[in-house]
Amino acid sequence: MTSTSPRGSVADGFRDAMAGLASGVCVVTTTAGGVPAGLTTTAVMSVSLDPPLVAVGVGRTSRTLEPLRAARRFAVHVLPHDREDVAAVFASKATDKFAGLAVRPGEGGVPVLADVARHVVECETWAEVEAGDHVLLVGRVVRVHGAAAADGRALVHFDRAFHPVGAARSEQECA
């Protein structure tokens, strides 16, 4: 099979094909040497329930990769539909991505974004897998926090743009 991408290369065709997958938007945070770090990613997947494991793909050129490796702990924040602003900041090259956000310490001092996630999954690094221009960090889940955004809608990335998905729940359902 050859690429049908208008640009012609297999890599471009692959990028186009992956843009056609709706993916949940997450922010991954860590701290190394007392300095918080974080990134936005859609490369998150559950791996196992026994033990509970989650994998996060991190680009080799990411400034957050070395802090993640050094800390061996991280938190995955599943973003709600209305936090595209947080996704954009953590996807940027901003020097202080945590500015203006309520942050509390999680397991091992990992920064937890207290008010911006549907769910927070705190992990200890269980394995690293070399994967081309990325590294897959497999985390053993040590704690899960419930939703701060209780209305039931999530943020996904599809066709190179953010989109809200899900149905809003009534206030009674959220209580």
- Interval 21-50: pLDDT, tens: 667 899 999 999 999 999 999 999 999 999
How many C-beta neighbours within 10 Å does residue 135 have? 18
pTM summary value: 0.86
Model confidence pLDDT, tens digit, residues 82-131 = 999 999 999 999 989 999 999 999 988 999 998 888 899 999 999 999 99
More confident residue, 55 or 152: 55
173 pLDDT higher than 70? no
C-alpha triplet 44, 41, 15: angle, nearest 5°: 90
Mean pLDDT score, 62-87:
95
